[in-house]
Amino acid sequence: MRPFASVLRPIAIALCFLLLPTIALVQQGQQQTPPPAQQDQNAPDAGGPGGDTGVIAVPKKKPAEAAPPPAPEAPKLTDQPGNKTFTLNVDVPEVTVDVSVLLEKTQQFVPNLKPGNFRVYEDGVPQQVLGFKRGEAPITALMLLEFASTNYNFIYDMRNAAYTFASQLRPQDYVALMTFDLHTHILTDFTQDKQQVQQAIDSLTIPGFSDRNLFDALYEAIDRLERIDGKKYIILIASGRDTFSKINLDQILAKVKATHDITIYAVSTGGALRAIREGRGGFYSQMRDLDYLQADNEMKTFAQLTQGRWFNPRFVGEMPDIFSSISDSIRSKYQLVYRPTNAKQDGTWRKIKVELVDEEGKPLQIIDERQRPLKYQVIARDGYKAKLQVE
């Protein structure tokens, strides 16, 4: 009989061969099972009560929705070099009217007037005055002198008038000097040096031409002054006659009407010579007198269209008073500002009229120390040309 141990050995070996596949499968399952940390990250949600998955198919866990990215910050705009900037301008029509009130006899400025004393009409319609002030301002003026080879009396009057005006300049004033005959000549640009202006007048000794193209010269003078900001003046000292200008009277009148911030003060020359020759018989003498009467009317019109004044002196002794009056008129003035009831920008001509009234709305009366009424004149621009919409 075999021992018991020898009987069990073959049985144990057989069992080992039978259990080897099962052991291998168990070890393989243990190797494929991830560690707890990895299983928590990647394993799907368990379907059973204990969380075991087994061989049952379990639906995959839906991935968590990613949080939306933060909104981008608004760009900060800075004024970097090279960046273009834009501005919006809205035109609100306003009209500025310079008014001088002078006594007719002495040409003295009338002070101490109040805003209620002024009544402004545009095309016959009353306007409300929004701004009012009185002041004295420095002069920015262009002296436009006729220097032609006609008669020495005209040159003599011109030089005396120019000297008188230059002598009354103040240190803060700016003056330029331009002459004309057949052409225009700029002797001095704008300067505050009174001596330089007087030296330029001294150089006017021998004229080159006898022609006097007044219309062309005045047109060019206005063109030059319109490029300068602020209030400007033209001191026109001439006979008023025109010979060969390229533009006609209607064209120069239209140019004068369309000016902005330019006032013309006109002084006619040759008054003494004309007084001697006036009334002489003969057809030629009568035609010459008619030509000068027409020249006077043109000079007067240039001044009136720009709220200026015209002077026709006969003697040299009148010059200081004339230019003293011009200086007072330029420096002392009332400035009125109103917003027109007709706000259309149609380029039409608007007629302006300024009156003086008292507290009751009646025409203002000015009296002297003896209670006698004094005549006065209100000097203001006749009108202005409204802007066009495209301007």
- Count of CB atoms within 10 A of residue 176's CB? 22
Beta bridge partners of 97: 336
Instruction: Give the integer Cα–Cα distance in Å for 154 and 270.
Output: 5
- Residue-level pLDDT at 385: 86
Six-digit token string for 29: 């399952």
105 conformational bin, left if phi > 0, alpha if psi -120 to 50, beta if neither: alpha
Asked if 381 and 307 touch (Cβ cutoff 8 Å), the reply is yes
- Residue-level pLDDT at 37: 45
* Full set of structural domains in the chain with CATH: 95-385 (3.40.50.410)
- Residue-level pLDDT at 352: 94
- Residue-level pLDDT at 149: 80
- Residue-level pLDDT at 38: 47
- Residue-level pLDDT at 10: 63
Segments in the chain below pLDDT 70 = 1-68, 71-92, 107, 279-285, 390-391
Asked if 89 and 75 touch (Cβ cutoff 8 Å), the reply is no
Beta strands 332-338 and 95-103: pairing type?
antiparallel
Distance of CA 89 to CAs 79, 86, 92, 193, 304, Å?
20, 10, 9, 39, 33
- Residue-level pLDDT at 20: 58
Q: What is the dihedral of CA 204, 190, 331, 159, to 10 degrees?
A: 0
Asked if 231 and 261 touch (Cβ cutoff 8 Å), the reply is yes
Instruction: Give the integer Cα–Cα distance in Å for 285 and 291.
Output: 10
